Structure 1
Amino acid sequence: MITKQHYLLWTIFLLLVALILYRFFSSSQLTTSKEHIQRTVVLLEDNVNIRTEASEKSSIVTKGKKGEEFPYLHQEDDWYHIALPNNETAYVTRALAAMSYEKTDNLLEGKTIILDAGHGGKDEGATGKRGTLEKNLTLQTVKNIQQELLTLGATVILTREDDTYIELEDRVAVSKQQWADLFISIHYDSALTSAAKGITTFYYRQKEDKPLAKTIHESLIKRTKANNRNFLYGDYLVLRDNKIPSILLELGFLSNEEDEKRVNTEEFQQTAVEAIVEGIIEYVHK
């Protein structure tokens, strides 16, 4: 005779088996897609030295131009190993180059990413000398990132889609409700001194958050050429209470006239978005 207790135990067992199989096949699909990712290394400046080995002391094979791309082979410390047109290989420093991905593939398929536009509604955040409201700029940036991520197959969820005030706890709750993989909060900074400028990235947990912070921050600095304020520990509720890899980006100082003008340009927005997306791809496929 099958009792209610037996039925319940059997149901739980079947659910656990289904969950294990789902995780297994999801992982298998990700591994398979990773093997087919087309990656290139793009040079960020002119007259970049391309060397025979991963060392500043090695011989220079040739010099590359800004925007020039080479097939990516692998990464060796702070160097990219690249393929040259003559079927030879060489090395270029990561400080002067960035990874680029073939965006026609669903590189982020199966990944759920939460994008958090800082502030909103009655909470305006920082206000620039030129009148920029942080709450408006964060939403603009988040929507630009969303569009890029969607083209790569990711499921993207915004903590707010308009000028609405959202409690910090409710922002964190979104990632828990959606079984998300990453949480990225976008902000623009302000300081008492107008001299402060540049990009800062914050993380809370060393193991879970710091690798994501490092990857995206380095991508941002290389791409935007902004003042590097580093990736740092930050005790913010949206990071502290999140159980998934989470970071908070401060993309510039609205209290600095130069930064405020810069972050409002289409060029900066496009470059920053590309850098963030490429950082996400690199982190996911490491």
Structure 2
Amino acid sequence: MKFIYTIITSIALLLASTFFFPSEGYAANGDVYQVGGMVLNVRSDASTEAPVVGKLQAGDQVVEFQEKYGWIQTYYDGKEAWVAKHHLRKIGQMKRVQANEENVTVKANSTNIRSGPGTSYPAIGSSSSGDTYRLQKTEGDWHQIVLANGEYGWVASWLTDTKGEPIPASNESAATVQAPEQQASSTSSDLTSLDGYNIMLDPGHGGRDSGAVGINGVQEKMVTLATAHEVAEHIRDAGANVIMTRTNDNYISLEERVEMSDDYFTHAFVSIHYNAFPDPSANGMNTFYYSQTTDQQLAENVHGSLASKVDLQDRGILREGFRVIRTNNAPSILLELGFITNANDLAIIQTDTFKQQVGEAITTGLQNYFQAK
């Protein structure tokens, strides 16, 4: 948001930082290898002539599911892939243990299943409301669950119900491979209506102020506007009165945006932005707040919901003095929903699925916020 850069690029390398798991049908007790001190090509077949589908960095780990001609087959970006074994060091083996009779049922749609017990671990899949899994163990606020293919994943306990009865095999659901839950939410049916609340959405920039300029000339002002329109529909569906600081490509000063918030007796102000940086590897989303008294709880609720639903790197919640939130009398937050100068972020941002997930997440975050007040 703070920098204007036009970066022309066409390829983003997807770098894996943890285990690569199959989505179904493979043995669970594969050997675990670590990449040595070099960048290692990941290929579509067990041959140096096969196309490169990605790269691994020193310290990345892979699980072997079969070996052929000195190559091991693993999974990369959810697909079968091959790496040369002589560049790898064996460090252990995946283990299975018997699951207990408790099970957990997911309460929220698009809930991330992670490789470890925390939001810093990458998502290895996602689950929908009503999906049920056997509970392996609990660490803090996270449940380790047994997936339908026998592998393990972790899900935030606040997104689940835990019960003691066994689950029918037909209810087990395999995770689908796809990639921060700080605090999340129940399904909207469990939450309060937003009826009677005035929610102001602020699509950043507009008119002569293009905001950041990203890959292929994408302008932040147009992406924020498209996202805000989608978010508005979701919030209206939950009963709120939605006001937008702009509904088309026109210029609105920062002072005018804050004045509008005051004029409409806004109950929550959400400013939508996208980030940019000279280094195209910078990626992920942030939520910013200013007042620890009026803004911080709103930031935590909305960001937690976004982190549980949106497949972007979680850069966390930060305190900053952006004018539209610093001088605003309403509880206010500013969202940076990914980098338009990062090829992977931009590819996600431009999908209808992303805008829908953001709309659902912000709505649920608002419901959680007002329910707790």
TM-score normalised by L of structure 1: 0.71
SS of alignment partner, residue 346 of structure 2 = helix
2:364 corresponds to 1:285: no
Q: In structure 2, what is the Cα distance between the partners aligned to 1:201 and 1:157? A: 20
Structure 1 residues 203-222: aligned runs within 5 Å: 203-222=289-308
Q: 1:102 to 1:131 in 2, by over 3 A?
A: same
Contact 1:51 1:58 in 2 (8 A): no
SS of alignment partner, residue 213 of structure 1 = helix
State the match for 2:267 in structure 1: 181
SS of alignment partner, residue 255 of structure 1 = coil
Give the letter for the 1:102 counterpart. S
Count of residue correspondences: 230
Runs of at least 5 residues in structure 1 that lack an aligned partner in the other structure: 1-38, 66-76, 89-93
State the match for 2:188 in structure 1: 101
Shift of 1:130: 2.2
Contact 1:200 1:229 in 2 (8 A): yes
More deviation in 50-59 or 239-248?
50-59
Among 44, 49, 53, the alignment partner of 2:112 is: 44
Structure 1 residues 75-224: aligned runs within 5 Å: 79=158, 82=161, 84=163, 86=165, 98-102=185-189, 107-224=193-310
Q: 1:189 to 1:97 in 2, by over 3 A?
A: closer
2:348 corresponds to 1:252: no
Q: In structure 2, what is the Cα distance between the partners aligned to 1:119 and 1:47? A: 33
Q: 1:139 to 1:95 in 2, by over 3 A?
A: closer
SS of alignment partner, residue 216 of structure 2 = coil
Give the letter for the 1:44 counterpart. N
Shift of 1:40: 3.6
Contact 2:142 2:157 in 1 (8 A): no
Q: 1:202 to 1:58 in 2, by over 3 A?
A: closer
Q: In structure 2, what is the Cα distance between the partners aligned to 1:58 and 1:41? A: 15
Give the letter for the 2:329 counterpart. K
Q: 1:64 to 1:176 in 2, by over 3 A?
A: farther
SS of alignment partner, residue 192 of structure 1 = coil
Shift of 1:139: 0.7
Give % identity. Answer: 33
Q: 1:57 to 1:228 in 2, by over 3 A?
A: closer
SS of alignment partner, residue 115 of structure 1 = strand
Q: In structure 1, what is the Cα distance between the partners aligned to 2:138 and 2:159? A: 8
Q: In structure 2, what is the Cα distance between the partners aligned to 1:239 and 1:253? A: 21
More deviation in 218-227 or 138-147?
218-227
What is the RMSD of the two structures over their aligned residues, measured on CA atoms? 3.2
TM-score normalised by L of structure 2: 0.55
Q: In structure 2, what is the Cα distance between the partners aligned to 1:211 and 1:166? A: 27
Shift of 1:44: 3.1
Shift of 1:111: 0.3
SS of alignment partner, residue 186 of structure 1 = strand
Would you tell me which structure has more strand in proportion to its own residues? 2
Shift of 1:79: 3.8
Contact 1:129 1:254 in 2 (8 A): yes
Partner deviation per Cα, 1:155-180 (whole Å, 9 max, x = no partner): 00000111110000000001100111
SS of alignment partner, residue 187 of structure 2 = strand
Q: In structure 2, what is the Cα distance between the partners aligned to 1:118 and 1:57? A: 35
Contact 1:118 1:187 in 2 (8 A): yes
Contact 2:107 2:159 in 1 (8 A): no
Give the letter for the 1:161 counterpart. T
Contact 1:106 1:151 in 2 (8 A): no
Q: 1:59 to 1:149 in 2, by over 3 A?
A: closer
Q: In structure 2, what is the Cα distance between the partners aligned to 1:255 and 1:47? A: 26
Q: In structure 2, what is the Cα distance between the partners aligned to 1:258 and 1:269? A: 15
Give the letter for the 2:161 counterpart. I
